[in-house]
Amino acid sequence: MAPDQKKGVWKNARGKGRRTPKGRQLDPEALAQVQALLGDRPRRRDLLIEFLHLIQDAYGHLSAPHIRALAQEMGTGQAEIYEVATFYAHFDVVAEGETPPPALTIRVCDSLSCELAGAGALHKALQDGLDPAEVRVLRAPCMGRCDVAPVLELGHNHIDHATYEKTVAAIHAGEVHAEIPDYQGFTEYKADGGYRTLARLRDNGDWEEVQAGILAAGLR
């Protein structure tokens, strides 16, 4: 060993030493799939949950190769992606060697209102009557629709006053996507006078005038 070499363990580059990086390798196919889903969206960290939803919706789960690919694409650590993905119940993280969940998931609300309306019996009927290889039936916390209990979520579609028959009919009809009602967009809202008070505050900076206007409106 040359006298100017630092002390430590030295290994000959020849032989059977590691010639590839440590850890799981990036899957080119998974990377291409993630890049296609993300498109031209900026790879910002605040969009992580949106990106996870894109993968979850496209493949029904979050595989280890897709998590590695997303980490590579966003320039962040896999641990950060994994921690966020495992925090939220609607993401299904599948480790190496694990079997992915069925393509369709039913989440039956088990809040007090839904339980009183028969959610427990509904959950059992769905578990007993549906093929577990095709549909996964889970319990889920309150969905905020207590006035139409019992409620379940079929994919992303909420079914109010849910019954076994209504759920099976919705499955056969492919009604698994959220029903978005007509709504006023941001541009239309601004054109219709939306955020006028905020704009006035920014223009003249007179917060006392704005406050007086809000108080005079008598909002409750």
What are residue 161's phi and psi, to 5 degrees? 45, 50
Choice among 49-53, 114-118, 189-193 with the minimum mean pLDDT: 189-193
**pLDDT at residue 207, as a whole number:** 79
What pLDDT does residue 8 have? Answer: 47
CB count within 10 Å of CB 31 equals 17
| Res. 23: pLDDT tops 80 | no
Q: Which CATH architecture has domain 28-94?
A: Orthogonal Bundle (1.10)
Of 16-20, 34-38, 84-88, which gets the smallest average pLDDT? 16-20
**String of DSSP letters for 163-178:** -HHHHHHHHHHT--S-
Whether the predicted pLDDT of 143 surpasses 60: yes
Cβ atoms 104, 176 nearer than 8 A: yes
Mean pLDDT within 161-182: 95
Read off the tokens for 89: 């119940």
Residue written as token pair 């889970």: 138
Both tokens assigned to 160: 């109010």
Task: Among 45-59, 60-74, 194-208, name the one with the lowest average pLDDT.
Answer: 194-208
Instruction: Look at residues 43, 40, 50, 97 and name the one whose alpha carbon lies nearest to residue 71.
Output: 43
Could you tell me which of 32, 45, 119, 50 has the C-alpha nearest to residue 88?
Answer: 50
Distance CA 117, CA 146 (A): 10
Residues forming beta bridges with residue 107, ordered by sequence position: 138, 153
Phi, psi (rounded to 5 degrees) for 190? -65, -40
**Model confidence at 35: pLDDT above 90:** yes
pLDDT at 20 over 80: no
- The closest alpha carbon to 76, from 104, 57, 102, 52, belongs to 52
pLDDT score for 96? 87
Can you list the positions of beta strands (E) in 33-163?
62-63, 93-94, 104-109, 135-140, 152-154, 157-159
Q: Is 55 helix (H, G, I), strand (E, B) or coil?
A: helix
- Assess whether pLDDT exceeds 50 at residue 162: yes
Q: Identify residue 188 by its one-letter amino acid code.
A: E
217 has pLDDT over 50: yes
Q: Percent of the chain beyond pLDDT 90?
A: 68
Rounded CA-CA distance 191/184 in Å is: 11
Domain ranges of the chain: 28-94, 104-173, 186-216
CATH of domain 104-173: 3.40.30.10
Asked if 28-94 and 104-173 have one fold, the answer is no
